[in-house]
Amino acid sequence: MAAAGALAAPGQLNLTESPYWGSRSVDCFEKLEQIGEGTYGQVYMAREIKTGEIVALKKIRMDNEREGFPITAIREIKILKKLHHENVIKLKEIVTSQGPEKDDLGKPDDNKYKGGIYMVFEYMDHDLTGLADRPGIRFTVPQIKCYMRQLLTGLHYCHINQVLHRDIKGSNLLIDNEGNLKLADFGLARSFSNEHQSNLTNRVITLWYRPPELLLGSTKYGPAVDMWSVGCIFAELLHGKPIFPGKDEPEQLNKIFELCGAPDEVNWPGVSKIPWYNNFKPTRPMKRRLREVFRHFDRHALELLERMLALDPAQRISAKDALDAEYFWTDPPPCDPKSLPKYESSHEFQTKKKRQQQRQHEENAKRQKLQHPQPHSRLPPIQQSGARPQMRTGPNQSMHGSQPPVTGPGHYGRPRGPPVGPGRAPPYPSGGMPGGAPRGGGSGYGVGAPNYPQGGPYGGSGAGRGSNMMGGNRNQQYGWQQ
């Protein structure tokens, strides 16, 4: 089974250098279409001219860097060069451009740095968010099991090789038309050590998928932070919409407490010592209501979700143990990835753009109608008194049938701000931390900020999923979010 494939030994990491990295020009590729955009660059679908291979090009933005090459890009490249797994996005090479480049309209780019640096990734047709946002899509149980098992397999590989992803969300999970799912956008990833826990920034992970220990100010944490995000995605796939759509950090904590109960020394030993616990502990008793709210879920799914969304990170299930959960071994079984339906390419950045174009088209049509009213004849009496206009389903209708569309800035919130260094930041003011609101679009290749806005699988940004405090969008799946 796929679970067995996850047990890769740390010694299998690829630590060899690729001698040609950085030696080729971006002119070896023809840009076909932009699929992501965010604070840290753009992502393009491109074709290698010599071989015809389709790839994703992620341009690293240099114009807002005062001290040379972005540290986040260095970290991402370093981590991706050593991770080789079927469920982790593959960084193929680095290419450069010499001299001033031209933008998509053929005009010279005003980047003061003469030339650019691109990360070349394997191309993936979709990100999970973009796929889920397609009209009429509702994932089946075998499909959800298939995607979840691949997500957990890739994450287990990262964790046994001591890498925290720190931005697991739908737009950072890329899917190809063979049904393969890969973790992408390692712009916030960090290596960690089980022996020596150093202080890490708590301003990571898009707001809607951020665990309570980070929201309460903890700076010592491990793989459990990623597992909380996985639990949020799992519930979202089963429920049809995000389960913790907070507007800022205080509201995010409140939504978590309302569903998972208020933390105390009984259910979370040591919680009272976390920096901002006293600032945000509930003033009234709040019971855990997870089983009640999601009582319509399958019993085994609910048991697994309970362990993923444990308040105490020490009690949260690991990726390895989650792969052995009864949920994956009971009927119906996970489907074969190759049996999944094939769809037209759908990255969050693209689906958001299509929605915006549709809205613009409807607004223009409305405006034209008001400016040039059409004469209308009187309706027959029976129609005047009894007929009611039918509601037409618009482009923003939720793909989940009865579920209303998500309102607000989009799944991933607005782009996150500059990374905060290790250490404690002050508790959030009444409006939350800067950049706490949901951000705009992004992509799984990592172009956008780490919030919950909509973006594309290679790293752009998207709107509506909460904010990632580090800046970025949903389209950051390939690591454009830094």
Residue 14: inside a domain, yes or no?
A: no
Q: What confidence score (pLDDT) does residue 343 get?
A: 75
- Please state which of the ranges 8-12, 126-130, 231-235, 453-457 shows the lowest mean pLDDT: 453-457
Of residues 63 and 289, more confidence is placed in 289
- Please state which of the ranges 103-112, 219-228, 250-259, 398-407 shows the lowest mean pLDDT: 398-407
Residue 381: inside a domain, yes or no?
A: no
pLDDT tens digits along 324-354: 999 999 999 999 998 887 777 655 555 556 6
Q: What number of other Cβ atoms are within 10 A of residue 297's Cβ? A: 18
Answer with the one of 102, 125, 148 that is the final residue of a domain.
125
Q: What number of other Cβ atoms are within 10 A of residue 48's Cβ? A: 15
> How far apart (Å, rounded) are the C-alpha atoms in residues 302 and 307?
9
List alpha helices for 220-347, DSSP H. 224-239, 249-260, 277-280, 290-293, 299-308, 319-323
Residues 76 and 169 in one domain: no
Q: Is residue 435 over pLDDT 50?
A: no
Q: What confidence score (pLDDT) does residue 407 get?
A: 32
Residues 146 and 233 in one domain: yes
297, 327 Cβ separation under 8 angstroms? no
- Please state which of the ranges 40-49, 138-147, 446-455 shows the lowest mean pLDDT: 446-455
Of residues 442 and 332, more confidence is placed in 332
- What CATH number does the domain containing 338 carry? 1.10.510.10
> Among residues of the chain, what percentage have pLDDT more than 90?
52
Residues 106 and 162 in one domain: no
Q: 134 falls in which pLDDT band (50, 70, 90)?
A: confident
* CA diameter of the chain: 81
Residues 198 and 298 in one domain: yes
The DSSP secondary-structure symbol of 437 reads S
Instruction: Give the C-alpha distances (Å, rounded to integers) separating 462 from 159, 173, 255, 354, 403.
Output: 27, 14, 22, 13, 20
Q: 470 falls in which pLDDT band (50, 70, 90)?
A: very low
Q: What confidence score (pLDDT) does residue 366 get?
A: 75
Residues 300 and 164 in one domain: yes
Read off the pLDDT of each residue in 83-104 and give the average, rounded to a whole number.
84
Residue 181: inside a domain, yes or no?
A: yes
Instruction: Give the C-alpha distances (Å, rounded to integers) separating 121 from 93, 204, 479.
Output: 7, 23, 10
Where in the sequence numbering do the catalytic residues fall?
167
Residues 118 and 251 in one domain: no
Q: What confidence score (pLDDT) does residue 53 get?
A: 97
Residues 247 and 202 in one domain: yes
Torsion of CA 447, 190, 146, 320, to 10 degrees: -170
Start-to-end Cα distance in the chain: 34
Q: 368 falls in which pLDDT band (50, 70, 90)?
A: confident
- Please state which of the ranges 11-15, 351-355, 473-477 shows the lowest mean pLDDT: 473-477
- Token pair of 426 as six digits: 């002050």
Look up the domain containing 73 and give its range. 20-125
Residues 197 and 276 in one domain: yes
Answer with the one of 108, 125, 142 that is the final residue of a domain.
125
Residues 345 and 467 in one domain: yes
Read off the pLDDT of each residue in 280-287 and give the average, rounded to a whole number.
92
Q: 423 falls in which pLDDT band (50, 70, 90)?
A: very low
The mean pLDDT of the chain is 77
Q: 388 falls in which pLDDT band (50, 70, 90)?
A: very low
Residues written for the chain: 482
Of residues 370 and 40, more confidence is placed in 370
304, 318 Cβ separation under 8 angstroms? no
Q: Is residue 262 over pLDDT 90?
A: yes
Q: 454 falls in which pLDDT band (50, 70, 90)?
A: very low
92, 22 Cβ separation under 8 angstroms? no
Residues 108 and 30 in one domain: yes
Q: What confidence score (pLDDT) does residue 23 get?
A: 79
Answer with the one of 125, 143, 160 that is the final residue of a domain.
125
Contacts of 36 (CB under 8 A, 6+ apart): 42, 43, 58, 347, 349, 441, 442, 443, 444, 445, 447, 448, 455, 456, 457, 458, 459, 460, 473, 475, 476, 477, 478, 480
Q: Is residue 238 over pLDDT 50?
A: yes
Q: 216 falls in which pLDDT band (50, 70, 90)?
A: very high
182 annotated as belonging to a binding site for a ligand: no
Residue 27: inside a domain, yes or no?
A: yes
Read off the pLDDT of each residue in 373-401 and give the average, rounded to a whole number.
40
- What CATH number does the domain containing 109 carry? 3.30.200.20
Q: Is residue 7 over pLDDT 60?
A: no
pLDDT tens digits along 181-214: 999 999 999 999 887 778 999 999 999 999 999 9
- Cβ burial of 427 (10 Å; 0-12, 13-18, 19+) is middle
Tell me the whole-structure pTM to 2 decimals: 0.73
DSSP letter string over 322-335?
Answer: HHTSGGGGSSSPPP
Residues 130 and 82 in one domain: no
Q: What confidence score (pLDDT) does residue 384 get?
A: 36
- Please state which of the ranges 185-194, 313-322, 348-357, 425-434 shows the lowest mean pLDDT: 425-434
Q: What confidence score (pLDDT) does residue 396 get?
A: 35
Read off the pLDDT of each residue in 233-253 and give the average, rounded to a whole number.
97
Residues 280 and 154 in one domain: yes
- Token pair of 248 as six digits: 């800022």
Residue 392: inside a domain, yes or no?
A: no
Residue 9: inside a domain, yes or no?
A: no
Peptide bond into 332 cis (omega under 30): yes
Q: What confidence score (pLDDT) does residue 98 get?
A: 75
Number of domains in the chain: 2
Q: Is residue 356 over pLDDT 90?
A: no
Residue 364: inside a domain, yes or no?
A: no
Residue 180: inside a domain, yes or no?
A: yes
Q: 445 falls in which pLDDT band (50, 70, 90)?
A: confident
Read off the pLDDT of each residue in 30-39 and give the average, rounded to a whole number.
84
